[in-house]
């Protein structure tokens, strides 16, 4: 009995060493297709632009003349917005949205839009530790917007 266990141990070691020598992948197995589910998420993004603790800070700016009508084109900002259950700044915090905004409008003839990359990470409840990513154009002057979510 002890002998058999010892042999099995040696074999496992050989398999592991074999994979380590071969390279960067192990076995290929068929993907498990899970049933699709839908979850509706409701929360408010506290995108605070000013004050003592702004949630958005400018990190780079294009070298364009300041009298240019699209002088803000190319401005890049880092964000760390609270995700809360309500509009009040004291309402329950459920996560944080972290990422980047770039101002992408080229002036009067172009829509007022920024392009954003943001990771919305949950820090509480059923989805604690999970996140989704918004990587999309965001036409900020429109009251209703559709953004690409991954």
Ligand X SMILES: *[C@@H]1O[C@H](CO)[C@@H](O)[C@H](O)[C@H]1NC(C)=O
**Under rule CB under 6 A, residue 51 binds ligand X:** no
CA angle 115, 101, 118 (to 5 degrees): 90
Hey, which residues between 66 and 95 contact ligand X (CB under 6 A)? 67
**Under rule CB under 6 A, residue 129 binds ligand X:** yes
When the beta carbons of 4 and 126 are compared against ligand X, the nearer one is 126
CB of 66 to ligand X, least distance (A): 8
**Under rule CB under 6 A, residue 126 binds ligand X:** no
Choose, by CB under 6 A, the member of 58, 106, 128, 130 that binds ligand X: 128
Q: Which residues bind ligand X (CB under 6 A)?
A: 65, 67, 123-124, 128-129
């Amino acid at each position: 009995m002890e002998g058999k266990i010892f042999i099995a141990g040696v074999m496992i070691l050989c398999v592991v060493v074999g994979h380590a020598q071969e390279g960067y992948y192990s076995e290929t197995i068929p993907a498990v297709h899970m049933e699709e589910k839908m979850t509706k998420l409701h929360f408010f993004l506290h995108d605070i632009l000013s004050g003592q603790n702004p949630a958005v800070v400018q990190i780079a700016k294009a070298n364009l003349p300041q009298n240019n009508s699209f002088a803000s084109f190319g401005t890049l900002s880092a964000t760390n917005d609270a995700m809360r259950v309500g509009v009040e700044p004291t309402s329950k915090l459920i996560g944080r949205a972290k990422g980047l905004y770039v101002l992408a409008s080229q002036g009067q003839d172009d829509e007022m839009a920024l392009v954003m990359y943001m990771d919305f990470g949950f820090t509480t409840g059923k989805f604690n530790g999970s996140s989704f990513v918004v990587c999309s154009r965001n036409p900020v002057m429109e009251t209703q917007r559709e953004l690409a979510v991954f």
